[in-house]
Amino acid sequence: MQDAFDFSVPEVTGKSASGPAAADRTAELRVLLDRYAHAYYVCDAPEVPDAEYDRLFRELESIESTHPELVIAASPTQRVGAKPLAAFESVSHLTPMLSINNAFTAEEVEAFDRRCRETLLLSDSAPPIAYACEPKFDGLAISLVYENGVFQQGATRGDGTTGENVTLNLRTIRSIPLHLTKEAPQGRFEVRGEVLIRRADFAQLNAAQEAAGEKTFANPRNAAAGSLRQLDSSITAQRPLTFFAYGIGEAAESRTTPDTQSGILDWLSSLGFRVAETRALVQGASGLLSYYEQMGMQRPSLAYDIDGVVYKVDQRELQARLGFVSRAPRFVIAHKFPAEEVLSRVVEIDVQIGRTGAVTPVARLEPVFVGGVTVTNATLHNFIEMARKDIRIGDTVIVRRAGDVIPEVVSALIDRRPLDAEGQALYPLMQCPALCPECASHIELPPDEAVARCTGGLVCPAQRKQALRHFASRRAMDIEGLGEKIVDQLVEAGLVHSPADLYTLTVPQLSVLDRFAEKSAENLVAAIQQSCHARLDRLIYALGIRNVGEQTAKDLARYLGSMDALVQADIATLMQVPDVGPVVADSIVSFFAESHNREVLTRMQAAGVHWQDLPTQVVEGPLVGKTIVLTGTLPHLSRDEAKALIEAAGAKVSGSVSAKTHWVVAGEAAGSKFEKAQSLGIEILDEAEFLKRLQL
């Protein structure tokens, strides 16, 4: 049950001389309707019959239609009604929406608790850390921005830095308050949480879709995602979406902000948000593990899907001291439930060639429903792994799928293997082909690697198709309408060899493709042209350089500032970029060493693709080229402050000590890094000496 909720609304300012009674009545009706909606949608405890709610709602609509000056954005009547959008705008998050690290075993949870204690320098005799625990909703992460208590803007997580503006759709979700209680912070206030569809609502939605001859959804998460990405908010309004709040953005700091995560959840509840009823405050690792066990038991009877639980260090001051590791906060971990496993049969084993030439054996399966979707293909990872597990055509196999993860074959039930008359397995173990089935280039298995690769590069149509799909994908160049089937046709028809060819495609060329009407051709050419105005980091990511994901592309753009600088960078320069190590640096240098890759960029530019260089954040300052490791607690600087100073001085912070480390900056209770630095003869500095070297 939620806490008491104060239903007073922001004052109606538009009183007309002729309608003070109408203004009073609208205010009164809004208070009542908000209260009843909160009871119904947030507390699951309706206070009045639906007919009474509808009667009051119609009365409010009627007054507002005769007194339009009384309409306010936060009125319950104003949830739906805007015209469909042409596209969603991008929104930069006030503070990044970070991801969280996962734990899968009790040992990993114990290690998390131990790491927190060590980083906070708690002695063995210190009391256990208090943790706020919550279910991990299987929905979509959302940010809601309130301005003086009134809902202004809502966005999807997107890549964590930039999401899509889905405000109009979020306004239709009844458990998202359009205005908050008077206790809400003034100014900007950001609430974060998850949008989902409850199981019972999902069943009803699919039944209604089926009855209307519309497509049904594979699982509640897909239904929620599809509903939230509707350009027409009147469609979203018909979908039974629910919002659960789980935190606040940093902009929300105010004097009234509680100093614990558990306090924040209670506070969000009192402000009108739905928060997990099954939240708990526990002590230490044993408390975490018993919460996990309890939630595992409750999981089947919960109203919504969850894929694990989330543990957060409760005290926010301790959270701040713990800081971050590689873009995930150290104070939080998601303890995932085991992935669902089912049995199926391998009908065929095919070889798939990935974007970077990786050769992956893929099992074609008898269809099986697992982890919320019907699965017909599952990865066997690589030929070495497949041989180790001895998986063959005809085998009955265990198939596993968790969340968004690609389904995989876990193992074969060998005693169910079909045998011939002599008792021999009907099928031999499949070997990795010597030649690529797509382009007949040689397949290589580099020493010390498990993954074989086709050496065909962009000569290989499979690699070309994958590279183009990646280039056009939403997080890369975001070319609407350039889907898998069209890419396949473009490559097979010989119209497109590299991403640069996309920019010279014409409507007549596209119109000859299978089932491609002139209008679709025009739309695709327009979408391709729209992508000409690119963002540097997205373009870097779109190139599909091995080991360069979205975040690395962002770091490269931010620290090198231009494509020219990236193309020309040598290993040493690249390794000064935060989180770029020798493997990533080598991939980048090898990519641009290929003249055909450089040519693609030149041809794209010639065809009109342009991007803006960024002011570089690098690599200036007194410590350029140095790699520094921090260990222990410094007397004055927090970990984040020390890191910021190092990066501002042009040096790089590394998490581990190696022969390439220049200095180790050590504070109190420095551990194994200190010892390793000593054994390698690396210079160890205290805070004062470190600040001196920074020339501060």
Smallest separation, CB 579 to ligand 5U1 (Å): 19
Rounded CA separation 10/15 (Å): 13
Structure tokens at 536: 């540097």
- Decide whether 136 or 401 has the Cβ nearer to ligand 5U1: 136
CA distances to 142, 482, 594, 600 from 473, in Å: 21, 8, 24, 18
Residue 103 pairs in a beta bridge with 335
User: Do the Cβ atoms of 188 and 195 come closer than 8 Å?
Assistant: no
- Tell the smallest beta-carbon distance from residue 457 to ligand 5U1 (Å): 37
Nearer to ligand 5U1, 98 or 589 (CB): 98
* Token code pair at residue 441: 């280039």
CB of residue 354 to ligand 5U1, shortest distance in Å: 28
Name the token pair of 95: 């503070």
| Residue placing its CB nearer to ligand 5U1 in the complex, 67 or 330 | 330
Nearer to ligand 5U1 (CB atom), residue 250 or residue 422: 250
Q: Which residue minimizes CB distance to ligand 5U1? A: 246
Whichever of 154 and 247 has its CB closer to ligand 5U1, that residue is 247
Q: Which position has the token pair 């007073």? A: 8
Task: Give me 510's structure tokens.
Answer: 């596209």
CB of 258 to ligand 5U1, least distance (A): 15
Residue (287 or 357) nearer to ligand 5U1, CB: 287
Considering the complex, state which of residue 174 and residue 192 has its C-beta at the smaller distance from ligand 5U1.
192
CB of 418 to ligand 5U1, least distance (A): 45
Active-site residue, 136 included = yes
Q: Across-strand partners of 145?
A: 153, 190
Q: Shortest Cβ distance from residue 159 to ligand 5U1 (Å)?
A: 13
CB of 100 to ligand 5U1, least distance (A): 5
**Exposure class string for 191-225: b at 16+ Cβ within 10 A, else e:** bbbbbbbbeebbeebbeeeeeeeeeebebbbebbb
Contact 390, 412 (CB under 8 A): yes
Strands (E) located in 402-550 = 408-412, 443-444, 453-454, 533-534
Please, what sign has the CA dihedral across residues 7, 13, 14, 18? Answer: positive
DSSP per residue over 377-402, as a string?
Answer: EEE---HHHHHHHT--TT-EEEEEE-
CA atoms of 256 and 276, how far apart (whole Å): 22
Minimum distance of ligand 5U1 from residue 558's CB (angstroms): 22
In the chain, the N- to C-terminal Cα span, in Å, equals: 54
DSSP letter at 660 equals T
DSSP letters for 412-426: E-GGG--B-TTS-BS
Residues 499, 501, 507, CA angle at the centre, nearest 5°?
A: 120
DSSP letters, 630-646, are EESB-SS--HHHHHHHH
Q: Considering the candidates 15, 83, 136, 660, report the single residue annotated as catalytic.
A: 136
Q: Which is nearer to ligand 5U1, 247 or 407 (CB)?
A: 247
Q: Which residues pair with 397 in a beta bridge?
A: 344, 412
CA distance 587 to 584: 5
Place of tokens 């000409």: 532
- Quickly list DSSP for 524-543: HHHHHHHTTEE-HHHHHHHT
Whichever of 79 and 136 has its CB closer to ligand 5U1, that residue is 136
Burial class (CB in 10 A: 0-12, 13-18, 19+), 367: exposed
Distance CA 416, CA 418 (A): 6
Measured CA to CA, the distance from residue 146 to residue 31 in angstroms comes to 19
Residue ranges binding ligand 5U1 (CB under 6 A): 98-100, 134, 136, 141, 192, 246-247, 310, 329, 332
Residue 331: CB minimum distance to ligand 5U1, A:
8
**CA 180/CA 120 separation, integer angstroms:** 36
Active-site residues: which are they? 136
